[in-house]
Amino acid sequence: MKQIILKLNELRKGKNTFHVSSTAGELDLEDIDYPIVGNIDTHIEIYRNRNNYEIKLRTRFVFRLTCSRCLTEFEKQFEDLGAFYLKKGEVPDIPEGMIKDEYIETLYVSGDEYDLAPIIREQVLLSIPMKPLCSDSCTVPEYDSGIDEVDSRWADLIKLKEKLM
Ligand SMILES: [Zn+2]
């Protein structure tokens, strides 16, 4: 997997913005449930305050999905917003139970470099829909299941099925 390295020392005070484009292959995302069409584009915003960094990632990409109802293939754009704090230094030794419920996660980094690639990969993985639908109104093509009109050749099978149920 390629690395998307943040060089923490080179970031200026205040706001820094970057744009990074990755392929599915570069982020090791070729063998997931649905193929990715085109590139994975990430807009990165970093606010630096001394050795604290607030990082915001907006990752956009297109999945080629298969509708779970009608099996039509369709493409859909996804956008995932992620944010976390990065601090230089060791993870503080906070006794269990003392950790505050922060709405934003804090990660710790010991060196001057931080690789964003695993985080962007995770953004894509977490966006994989469980039951994609080609449209909100998609319905399974209707077929007549009226049991009265069933071909008599199926009758025995249907009786058997009813027994089993
Ligand atoms: Zn559908």
Distance 127 CA to ligand 1 centre (A): 19
Amino acid at the residue 92: P
DSSP 137-165: T--PPP----GGG--GGGHHHHHHHHHH-
Q: How many CB atoms lie within 10 A of CB 6?
A: 21
In whole angstroms, give the CA distance from residue 126 to residue 146.
42
In whole angstroms, give the CA distance from residue 79 to residue 58.
7
In whole angstroms, give the CA distance from residue 1 to residue 67.
30
pLDDT of residue 62: 98
Distance 65 CA to ligand 1 centre (A): 10
Distance 139 CA to ligand 1 centre (A): 6
Write the pLDDT tens digit of every residue in 3-22. Answer: 999 999 999 999 999 999 99
Confidence of residue 139 (pLDDT cuts 50, 70, 90): confident
Please check whether residue 107 is in contact with residue 116, taking contact to mean a CB–CB distance below 8 angstroms. Answer: no
pLDDT of residue 158: 65
In whole angstroms, give the CA distance from residue 35 to residue 24.
8
Please classify residue 9 by burial: count the beta carbons closer than 10 Å to its beta carbon, then call 0-12 exposed, 13-18 middle and 19+ buried: exposed
**Ion ligand 1: residue ranges with CB closer than 5 A:** 67, 69-70, 72, 134, 138
Give alpha helix (H) positions in the chain: 117-127, 155-164
Write the pLDDT tens digit of every residue in 19-69. Answer: 999 999 999 999 999 999 999 999 999 999 999 999 999 999 999 999 999
Q: Beta strand 73-88 with 105-109: parallel, antiparallel or unpaired? A: parallel
Write the pLDDT tens digit of every residue in 70-101. Answer: 999 999 999 999 999 999 888 777 666 655 65
Amino acid at the residue 38: G
Distance 148 CA to ligand 1 centre (A): 29
Distance 59 CA to ligand 1 centre (A): 26
